[in-house]
Amino acid sequence: MTPDDTWTRTLDLGPPQATPTPDAPALPERYEDLGLLGRGGMGEVRRVFDRKLRRALAMKLTRWTRTSPSARARFLREARLTAVLQHPGIVPVHDAGTLDDGRLWYTMPVITGETFGDRIAAHHAGTVGLHRLVSALEQASRAVAFAHSQGVVHRDIKPENLMIGAFGDVRVLDWGLARWLEAPEDLAALEPEVAEGTRAGQILGTPRYMAPEQAAGQIDAHGPRTDVFALGAVLHHLLTGRPPYPGDAQQALQAALEGPPPPPDGPEGLVALCVRAMARDPADRPADAGAFADGLAAWLDGSQRRRRALDAVAEADTLSAEPARLRAEADALDARAEVLLAEVAAHEPAAAKRPAWRLQDQAKALRSRARTCETRALQALRAALNHDPELDEAHRRLADHYQRQSTEAEQQGDDDEAERLALLVQDHDRGAHARWLTGQGTLDLVTDPPGAAVTLFRLEEVDRRLTPTAERSLGRTPLHDVPLPRGRWLLRLRAPGREDVDVPALIERDQRWDTVAPGHAAPTPIWLPPVGALGPDDRYVPAGWFIRGGDRQAPDALPRR
């Protein structure tokens, strides 16, 4: 017996005595034998032709002419129980009877396709997607859920007992170990626990997918949650590519007794459902196969919504790549137009200026296209959040966009707009913009000579003038990585034998203020003139680079440089 075989072992009972029959049995007149389809330890399945209805069927027979009462009971129970469970995911029974040699039989449709085990192998070979198999497992779980609603538990769910047809139909096979929780009177005598005269100590199922209560032979504990464990074990196999309890049958049985296997790797929602379904205590599992199927459906729905959301993010990324290119082309056209206009005197006729104007019009159109691309990219990101409101990829891109806009507004002196956009950054931030949102920057300062005392003043608008307020000491130079809230500041530098020097500093969000000139690596120390070096009418302005322009509220404002 392999570890994937179904166990129907009762402790201390030997195998039934039986006599094998020839391969071609004498069938009822209605059926013509078309050959063997498959054979197991206790039965076989033959392809037959139904002369009455002119169709091919599968006929399942007991394999032996003399079969133990328990095996006959199991076969009859499977036939009658399957006939009662009328569901698209459960193979129907068309007819049943007894051959002249005493063997039992019943007919059912010929089932073609692949087992779930075959599909799992294909998935891990990279030829079948995870979503398709999770959807198939959900369908199988719905069929088991129907059985649970009828008071029936399967007790032998495993990949080999789940069949996927060529058209995506999923069937749950082999109900030979199924149990009625409250068996009808005509089937009660066919329950294996009754027919075999025992309850405690019987091990039924497949060890590699077996719930602890099955492995322990606790028949009275078998219920819908036992099937839920097996469905979770199939999901575990799907995620890992191997059965949850490896090894031979005895090793798998021992592992099943000791508890559930380690959680598999995989999508968070599926892993969580798998762990719940395979909980050692049945009370901690989903209540039945319907609840398990609902968990799979919820993951599929969320996964599909995430996939649509990621498609929208990809569209936004494609659109977002365009504005920079379009604006660069527009700048180049404007530069060419500027050269052409410089060569034309103001009094010359319009015809001389039209080539430059055409270039300017083309540049204007390109900038309009850039704005349209930006708008469509934002729409795509918002659409992504409609599909998946918690999608980090969309939130991060929106936060990045609003951060750039807020920084631009701040550099242009539009503090109100900068604050509005900063609130949008905060709305979409998932941690990456936390430092920027504090509104702090840093300050580095070196002086010549070093050791100057630094007093900090905040520049506040008083009577329409920037006025130093809120004095505090920063210590002595050199200063490195001094955190300061964004805004305008005044640094007053004092050193023995040196003139006091005032240095303005603009601290921007998440930016460093220092005296390193663009294109240079080392800072330029601020020189403190000796006492007496300045005349009474002199105003010392420390040498260094500065920001020019960028205030769009100023008349004839220049670009920020």
Quick check: 298 and 249 in contact, CB under 8 A?
no
- The helix/strand/coil state of 327 is helix
Compute the distance between CA of residue 237 and CA of residue 239 in angstroms, rounded to an integer: 5
Distance of alpha carbon 531 from alpha carbon 533, whole angstroms:
6
Residues making up the chain, counted from first to last: 561
**DSSP for 482-497, written as a single string:** EEEESEEEEEEEE-TT
Q: Is 156 an active-site residue?
A: yes
Decide: 457 and 471 in contact? Cβ < 8 Å: yes
Q: Which among 536, 458, 452 is positioned nearest to 504, based on CA atoms?
A: 458
Residues 384, 312 contacting (CB under 8 angstroms) = yes
Give the dihedral sign, CA 407/409/414/415.
negative
In 391-433, which ranges are continuous DSSP H helix? 392-411, 415-428
Dump strand ranges (E) for 326-464.
Answer: 440-445, 447-448, 453-462
* DSSP 3-state of 9: strand
d(CA 118, CA 114): 6
Query: Which sign does the torsion angle of CA 408, 409, 415, 421 carry?
Result: negative
**Cis peptide leading into residue 478 (ω within 30°):** yes
Catalytic option among 156, 174, 388, 429: 156
Three-state SS at 127? coil
Cis bond before residue 449 (omega within 30° of 0): yes
Q: What is the sign of the dihedral through the CA atoms of 184, 190, 194 and 199?
A: negative
- Cα–Cα distance measured from residue 146 to residue 152, given in angstroms and rounded to the nearest whole number: 9
Tokens of 15: 């195998």
| Residues contacting 321, CB < 8 A, separation 6+ | none
Q: Which residues are catalytic, by number?
A: 156
